[in-house]
Structure 1
Amino acid sequence: MKTLKTITIVAIMLWVSVSAPVHAGEKDGAKGINFYSGTWSEALELAKKENKLIFLDISASWCGPCKMLKNNTFPNEAVGTFYNANFINIALDGEKGEGATLARKYGLTAYPTLIFIDGNGKLVAKTTGYHNAGQFLELGQKVIANK
């Protein structure tokens, strides 16, 4: 009985020590893309003010490639560093609210759709589908170079 108690305590301590750094990183947002939580009109104003383009991720809750972007690409530290420095980043559900309105406005044909827009709402670039971290960084760099 005492051995079972000891094993349980050790297992709990191990789980806490392994999971704590992961949760700390998620909590402080130290890695990956920081997505803006304001309205679309506020994002446009902020983009003008900071002289940045907007990166808009339009996804759907049921979309597999969207989940892969969210879980694999967007949390990447290099991706976050580049996109946070160069874009106002927004993620919206293309089937709800402002996301649905913008999906119609920018001619969404598939999920995920990755759109780059200037502060006046003008489309700069658009692509669809999953991109790994390297491909996504290259995409952002090309958009900035052609700005």
Structure 2
Amino acid sequence: MKTILFMGLLALVVFGIYSFKNPKVDFKEDSIGGIQFFNGTIQEALEKAKKENKPIFLDIYATWCGPCKMLKKNTFSDKEVGDYYNTNFINIAIDSETKEGRELVDKYRIEGYPTLLILDKNGKQIAKQLGFVEPHILVNFGKRIVP
């Protein structure tokens, strides 16, 4: 039990240090080859999802969040992740501290950041992943919904 607590504390310290050492992450800018995020509201993303008959991949993040920054820099920029998610989902990232973000936090009962959701084209939650994940884990998360 002490080992688990120690590892959890160590992970928090590492994420905290990373957050302070690497404060500049542009959450609005997509990386070349990685996930391309829809630039609009969740309502517009839902309309696009219905039109294209695809589920939605929703990243709810906070700009001050170290694991959110790591996810943006290391996982969302990965080519395999980008290829898979750009083909199979309407991708959207919402800052939890905006009006729209606060509404989504309440609606989907978000308890921490980053929270990754897969929604059907009507906005119903299908799957949820909390925290930083490596690229292969994110691909497997999506493949649970779209093989």
User: Could you list the per-position Cα deviations for residues 77-132 of structure 1 after superposition, in whole angstroms to 9, with x for gaps in the alignment?
Assistant: 11000000000000111111211111110000010000010111111111101100
Relative to structure 1, is the Cα distance of residues 95 and 48 closer, same or farther in structure 2, using a 3 angstrom cutoff? same
Q: TM-score, normalised by structure 2?
A: 0.77
Question: 5+ unaligned residues in a row in structure 1: which ranges?
Answer: 1-26
Question: 5+ unaligned residues in a row in structure 2: which ranges?
Answer: 1-28
Q: Distance in 2 between matches of 1:63 and 1:121?
A: 25
- Secondary structure at the aligned position of 1:81 is classed as helix
Residue 51 in 1 paired to residue 53 in 2? yes
Which structure carries more helix by proportion?
1
RMSD over aligned CA atoms reads: 1.5
Conserved? CA contact 2:30–2:37, under 8 Å: no
User: Could you list the per-position Cα deviations for residues 46-70 of structure 1 after superposition, in whole angstroms to 9, with x for gaps in the alignment?
Assistant: 0011110000000101111100000
Q: Distance in 1 between matches of 2:106 and 2:98?
A: 11
- Secondary structure at the aligned position of 1:135 is classed as helix
Residue in 2 that maps onto 1:86 = 88
Residue in 2 that maps onto 1:110 = 112
Residue in 2 that maps onto 1:97 = 99
Q: Select the residue among 32, 36, 40 that pairs with 1:38.
A: 40
- Secondary structure at the aligned position of 1:109 is classed as coil
Q: TM-score, normalised by structure 1?
A: 0.77
- Secondary structure at the aligned position of 2:34 is classed as coil
Which structure 1 residue ranges, 4+ long, deviate > 3 Å from structure 2? 27-30
Q: Distance in 1 between matches of 2:42 and 2:32?
A: 24
Residue in 1 that maps onto 2:75 = 73
Identity of aligned residues (%): 53
- Secondary structure at the aligned position of 1:66 is classed as helix
Q: Select the residue among 125, 128, 141 that pairs with 2:127.
A: 125
